[in-house]
Amino acid sequence: MLILPGHQYQCCDGISRRGFLQIGALAFGGLTLPQLLRAESQSGGKATGKSVINIFLNGGPTHMDTFDLKPQAPSEFRGEFLPIKTSSPGLEICELMPELATVGNQFSIIRSVENFKNEHNARQSDSGWSVNSLKNIGGRPGIGSVMSKILGPAQVTPEGAAPTNLDLSGSTRSGFLGPMHSAFRPNSRARGNLILDRRVTRERLDDRAQLLKNLDGIKQAMDASGRMIAIDSFTERAMGIITSGKLADALDTKNEDPKTKEMYGIGKDRYSRSNESFLKARRLLEAGVRCVSLNFGSWDTHGKNFDSMRKQLPPLSKALSALIIDLDRTGRLDDTIIMMSGEFGRTPRVNRNAGRDHWNRAGFFFIAGGGMRHGQAIGKTNRLGEFPQERPVKLQHIFHTVYHQLGIDANNITFTDPNGRPQYIVEERELIHELI
């Protein structure tokens, strides 16, 4: 919350003077926006200028019916769908994703992730770590929180700096880094405070801020140490975010070009809201956010797996391909790393309920943009999709590669945990050279 100190009393316009100054109640885990900006300014990272969109597929999607189909396997394994060719020779994906197939040269599929944990939790997709790692001290920080700690804000202008880390999914965690590096979650209350109350003009806010500065001068004169500062540069930057409305505008798609909305599949079916998150992610990057996390669908398909795929894969294909095309045509794709994964894969053998159960011995990871080499499938599972047969990849290898592209040296940077011990960002530090 952006709070400029003042006494609480009522005026004829119905706005209390204390309420008048509590503009911008942003949900940063109970911390004020000025505190967040101050912490990010102290990060001192050397960013490459790249951003991240991290898409979480809640429930654990089947690899066998999405990106690692086995048309030659026995019927009890291969399922009901066929692979189709993409725009990249040799790269095939499920027939239910024709739009995504048209941009096959812009993404890569890692088909041989070998060390997923059997955990219904977003922590692996957010950090590369198990939810149980350092659980007693808060757990491991997600990628957005790491970016907040090391890199800070992407843009600092007179109008302010957007938060580094924004979460549309509700699934990310800052771990032992604490609430200072939590993601901003624009729920309804927080979104309402991203703009000025309509009854409060910018001029009135400026007058009040100037008054407080004057009062602060009196306080400083009384304080020999000079530490009583009511409005510092970070508070002013926070006020800039609120008064400019850039973040609120990015989250509001009502004025977006109808043709763009149609391209994303917004307004078509029950997944419209999820599809809209992809468009919001693009708009938020343009507003200066570094890392946007979102989720799509529900993929815990113990039963009726194929019915679920028929409902969910087409809208995912529409939204994801639109995001890639949109970023490419605006020149931002090379500077945006799109990550997409779930908790684990699912059983290669179809169960008696036409479903697939949890399977952590193999799974996929989707990655696009970021100036990487794309149009390829990395790794290969055996003919039944049971385990990696060629080029096994650990989940943290992927995160290490992403951090490398962001300009974060995970080989040398450590964070001090609450017990005073240094902790590496990832433990398995091997770059995926096929991508970079």
Q: Following DSSP, what letter does each residue of 361-382 receive, concatenated?
A: S-EEEEEEETT---SEEE-EE-
DSSP 10: -
Distances (CA, A) of 82 to 179, 305, 338: 46, 15, 25
DSSP annotation string for 273-321: HHHHHHHHHHHHHHTT-SEEEEE------SS-HHHHHHHHHHHHHHHHH
Give the orientation angle of helix 305-329 with respect to helix 272-286, to 10 degrees: 30
pLDDT in tens, the chain (436 residues): 333 333 333 444 443 433 333 334 444 444 555 555 555 555 444 556 899 999 999 999 999 999 999 999 999 999 999 999 999 999 999 999 999 999 999 999 999 999 999 999 999 999 999 999 999 999 999 999 999 999 987 655 545 568 899 999 999 999 999 998 999 898 755 444 454 455 555 555 455 555 555 545 544 554 544 433 334 545 555 555 555 578 888 999 999 999 999 999 998 778 888 999 999 999 999 999 999 999 999 999 999 999 999 999 999 999 999 999 999 999 999 999 999 999 999 999 999 999 999 999 999 999 999 999 999 999 999 999 999 999 999 999 999 999 999 999 999 999 999 999 999 999 999 999 999 9
- Shortest CA distance to 323 belongs to which of 264, 238, 364? 264
Residue type, 350: V
DSSP 431: -
- Burial label for 419, CB within 10 Å (0-12, 13-18, 19+), is exposed
Residue type, 174: S
- Shortest CA distance to 402 belongs to which of 86, 151, 117? 151
What is the CATH code for 46-183+257-424? 3.40.720
Q: What is the pTM of this model?
A: 0.81
Distances (CA, A) of 241 to 119, 147, 421: 38, 20, 36
